[in-house]
Chain A
Amino acid sequence: MSEHVVSPEVTFAPAHTSGTKRIWKTFWLLSFITIIELVIGIVIYNIHKGEHPNHTLVLAFKGAVCILTLAKAYYIVAVFMHLGDEIRNMIITIVVPLALFIWFIIAFLWDGNSWRNLRNTDAGSRPTQEQAAPATKKSGEKE
């Protein structure tokens, strides 16, 4: 049935199931995760609308949405792109370089955060001579 050889460099054809059950199961799973994400989005919206938004709670919900998105990415790559059916060598050559993203995300968001701290405090400014003497001007009054 699926024994057709694609190219001589391929040692064996991965086993293809005859049914489409797994595809539809993944579709419902992705839809379900998306709906949960949307519900969390609406919750965040309502927290923001409230009198005193709880920023820790908002951050926790945003973290939850990020984790759900990673779960969706896993299912798309493993099932829809069939990476889960490939041999170990193939999986490793694709997934390991993506580990660079761990550093990439942490380093740059950290930098952005530090930038805001410098913007909001006078930590990043070098006072000019006139400013240094009276020192009455207050910076960082935003928010």
Chain B
Amino acid sequence: MATTTIQAETKWWNGGRSPFNASYGKVMMWYFLMSDAFTFGAFLISYGTIRFSVNNWADPNHVFNAFPFAGHANLPLAFVSLMTFILIFSSVTMVLAVHEGHHMNKKGVEKYMLLTIIGGIAFLGCQAWEWTHLIAGHHDVLVNGQIEHWGTTVTKNPWGSEVMHNGTMVATPGPIAFGGYFFGITGFHGFHVLSGVVINIVMYIKTKLGHFDQRGHYEMIEKAGLYWHFVDLVWVFVFLCFYLI
């Protein structure tokens, strides 16, 4: 198919065809993702504004330094890199499912959709562990001259600057916005992952039932894939804003 000549000679805006050479559903999926990008962007930029406006923001290497079954070992960046690689890999299996769909290979689509679903569930499991660890792990904080034991929640931030108290260094309460932004943004992302897993399970079942073979194309896999890649894309920025810088 001489696509390049078609592309050059077609009058895209004269009607009768999509000017974007894409089906209605796919174009709308892209517009939805664009609007979702602005929602996430607004959250992350708001977080950046507040973080810029205070003097003692929590040091991510200090807050996120735990790893399952590693006790109190100081391992900054380790767990979050595992989560990042899980999501990148599930993105690869998703794009491989789309690829198999282009070639009408039902068995291949099933295999890669299943791997993508497993990757998504693994990521959610990691996030559940991280949240539990942050909320349940208590730290000494000096509040009004008294030592209290605080977990990291939306109302309590035990990661403020350290002061000398009775001969030892102890943390003071940090900016209250930290927990709200962290749990709010990673929670909103996690909810996207959850809905992505649900969508992928639906697509897996529909593939298994042969719906796409009857329809003659696997475009639904492509649309679900767009959503899943977007979830990975957002994680790249959450990873940057909360853990790396």
Contact = CB atoms under 8 A, between A and B. Distances in A.
A2 B99 CA distance: 11
Given A76-B236, A108-B48, A109-B45, A119 B229 contact: no
Nearest to A100: B38
A112 B48 contact: yes
Interface stretch (B21-29, B119-127, B179-187): B21-29
A73 B21 contact: no
Contacts of B244: 37, 40-41, 44, 62, 65, 69
Contacts of A16: 99, 102-103
Nearest to A7: B23
Contact of B216 (A4, A81, A90): A4
Most buried by A among B56, B230, B239, B245: B245
A99 to B, nearest CB: 12
A69 B237 contact: yes
Contacts of B77: 38, 41-42, 45
Given A76-B91, A112-B53, A116-B55, A11 B21 contact: yes
Interface in B37-58: 37-38, 41-42, 45-46, 48-56
A97 interface: yes
B30 interface: yes
A1 interface: yes
Interface of A: prevailing SS: helix
Contacts of A72: 236
Nearest to B81: A38
B19 interface: yes
B21 A86 contact: yes
Interface residues of B, number: 68
B196 to A, nearest CB: 14
Contacts of B226: 81
B21 A119 contact: no
B161 to A, nearest CB: 9
Contacts of A38: 77, 81
Nearest to B88: A30
10 contacts: A3-B1, A6-B23, A6-B219, A10-B17, A18-B103, A27-B89, A41-B76, A44-B245, A76-B229, A90-B20
Given A15-B3, A16-B99, A44-B245, 10 more contacts: A6-B23, A10-B17, A10-B21, A16-B103, A42-B77, A76-B229, A82-B222, A89-B20, A104-B42, A142-B55
Interface of A: 1-7, 9-16, 18, 20, 23-24, 27, 30-31, 34, 37-38, 40-42, 44-45, 48, 62, 65-66, 69, 72-73, 76-77, 79-82, 86-87, 89-90, 93-94, 97-98, 100-101, 104-105, 108-109, 111-113, 115-116, 119-120, 142-143
